[in-house]
Structure 1
Amino acid sequence: MKEYLHRYKFLQDVILSEVFASVLKEELQKQKSIIVPIPMNDEKLKLRTFSQVDRLLDAASIPYTHLLGKNRVALGGKSKAERIEMQNVFWWNEKQVPKKILLFDDLYTTGSTLRMAAKVLKDKGAKEIKIVTLIRA
C-alpha cells in the first residue's frame, strides 16, 4: 500500500486514486460529519500539480469542505519531537466551522499534522473531530 501511495503522490500516478476510491467511499459514507481534507501549501501544490487528498475524495465522489490553509512548512524528514514542537502550520480560512468534523489525510505518520489541524478547528468552534487516513506509516 505504501508503494502505491508513493507512486500516486510523487510519481503523479493519479489513476491510482480510482483504486483507493471504493475503500474510501465505503468508509467515509458512514460518517455523519463534514469532511475536511488536510491541505497542501501553495508551493507544494504547484510542484505536484494536484492535491492528492482532494483527488482521492473526488475519485470517491465524497463531498468535502476546505476550512484550513497550510503555511510553507515541511514536516517530512522531521523527528517526532520536532513535529510536536511546530506551531502555526495551519490557518483557518474564515469559513463557518461545523460542530462535527472528519479530518481526512492520505498518510498518518506521527499524528502531528492531524493534531495541529484539529487544534485550529477546535479553537474555532468544532466540538467533535474524527480522523480518517488512507494508510498509517
Structure 2
Amino acid sequence: MQFETFGVVGLFVSAFISSTIAPGGSEAVLAYLVNSREYAVEQLVAVATVGNTLGALTTWWLGLWAAKKYPAETALSEKQRNSLRTVRRWGSWTLLFSWLPVVGDGLCFAAGWLKLSLFSSIAAIFFGKALRYIAIAYAFI
C-alpha cells in the first residue's frame, strides 16, 4: 500500500473509531493531513465524514440491539435515560449533534434504542458530522 493511501485509510479508521464507544482523535488526523497539503481538502472531509458516520451508525445499531434485550427503565443509568428523553423529545434532529464528544455516542445509542428512522438518522448524523469536519479542515488550511 502506498503511503498516501495509508494516510486516507488511517483517517477513515480514526474517524470510525472516534465515533464508536472508543475514544479517538480523528480531528487531529484530519488537521495533520490538511496541513500536509498532499490531499484535496474535499477528499479528506468526505473520508472523515463517511468513517465517522459509519461509526455512529454502529452505535445506533447497538442501541437497537440493546432495546430488544433490555427495557430502558431498568437497564440504563440516569445519564443514559436523559439521552433517551432528549432523543424521544426532539427525534432525529438531535443527531445533528452526534459529533459532540461523549454526548454524541449517547444520542446515537438512544436513537437506535427508540428505533428512529434509519434514513433520517443517517441524514442527520452525516450532515452534523460533515459540518464539523468542514469547519476543522478549513481552520487548518
State TM-score, norm by structure 1. 0.25
Rg: which structure is higher? 2
**Could you say which structure has the higher strand fraction?**
1
Structure having greater relative contact order (Cα 8 Å, sep ≥ 6): 2
State TM-score, norm by structure 2. 0.25
**Could you say which structure has the higher helix fraction?**
2
